[in-house]
Amino acid sequence: MTPSAEQLLGTIRVQGGVPVHIAVIMDGNGRWAARRDLPRSAGHQAGMSAVRECIEGCVEAGVEVLTLFAFSQENWQRPPEEIEALMTLLQEYVVSEAAELKGRGARVRMLGELDRLTPAARAAVETIESETAGGTALALNICLSYGSRAEITRAARLLAEDVRAGRLDPERVDESALASRLYTAAWPDPDLLIRTSGEHRLSNFLLWQVAYAEFHVTPVLWPDFTRVHLFEAILDFQRRDRRFGRVPARP
């Protein structure tokens, strides 16, 4: 018999060592819809329940930071009707979930080139960030209009501007200087990266930040993802030997 979410959570708490920061590539909405002869927008709508499951599971397990990959820069190339549906879904998400997120102590931040969003979607972003600003239980980052190469390029440009303006000595340009100019500078790098739908690629997501993250790939399509799958990923993480390039310590 498959263990319940409560049983898995109990094991997580006994074993200890919960990842501080979990990042998730939420993949499979389109395939979920296609298997049911539904429009892709129905898959995105169904995926919202998985977002809720993941957030609630992270709060229960004691995860401090959750970063979700919701909409990439490459996604702007999708059909206009799908993009419009996604922007509408963002607005609906704010209306339906803002109060719940605030109640759970989640603080939402949207990361990416937000200027590309529609005015209504941008207003929704500002609303949910404002309404959840006091949250301390979970930092919830939602990557919208996001691409990691663009993020790194932006950080390099900010470094160059600081050097040109005399605010930064070129000799002080190092990894920490670049990292401090990334969207995620306020949080530690992800300990665990989860990707649904069985694909084994990063899709231009947090390329700098996941340098030493543990990867967990599940065949489950995102709309079917539950906190059971989340807890299984955390247990998988707890079994890993994280050496960060060092040799293991002698017993």
CATH number of 21-147+191-237: 3.40.1180.10
Measured N-to-C along each axis, helices 227-238 and 40-61 cross at an angle, to the nearest 10 degrees, of: 50
pTM (two decimals): 0.94
Residue 82: its pLDDT value, please?
Answer: 87
C-alpha distances out from residue 89 to 54, 92, 223, Å: 18, 5, 14
DSSP code of residue 186:
T
Average pLDDT of the segment spanning 197-220 = 97
Q: How far apart are CA 187 and CA 80, in angstroms?
A: 34
Where in the sequence numbering do the catalytic residues fall?
A: 27, 75
What confidence score (pLDDT) does residue 247 get? 60
**pLDDT confidence bin for 242, thresholds 50/70/90:** confident
Q: Contact, 25 vs 66, CB < 8 A?
A: no
CA–CA separation, 75 and 27 (whole Å): 12
Q: What percent of the chain has pLDDT over 90?
A: 86
Rounded to an integer, the average pLDDT of 19-27 is 98
DSSP class of residue 222 equals G
Contact in structure between 24 and 67 (CB atoms under 8 Å): yes
Backbone angles phi, psi at 31, to 5 degrees: -65, -35
- Looking at residue 145, its pLDDT comes to 94
Q: For 132-150, how does the pLDDT look when each residue is reduced to its tens digit (9 = 90+)?
A: 999 999 999 999 999 999 9
Q: What is the pLDDT of residue 251?
A: 53
| Residues 33-75 pLDDT 10s | 999 999 998 999 999 999 999 999 999 999 999 999 999 999 9
Mean pLDDT of 154-172: 97
The predicted-structure confidence for 88-136, as pLDDT tens digits, reads as follows 999 999 989 999 999 999 999 999 999 999 999 999 999 999 999 999 9
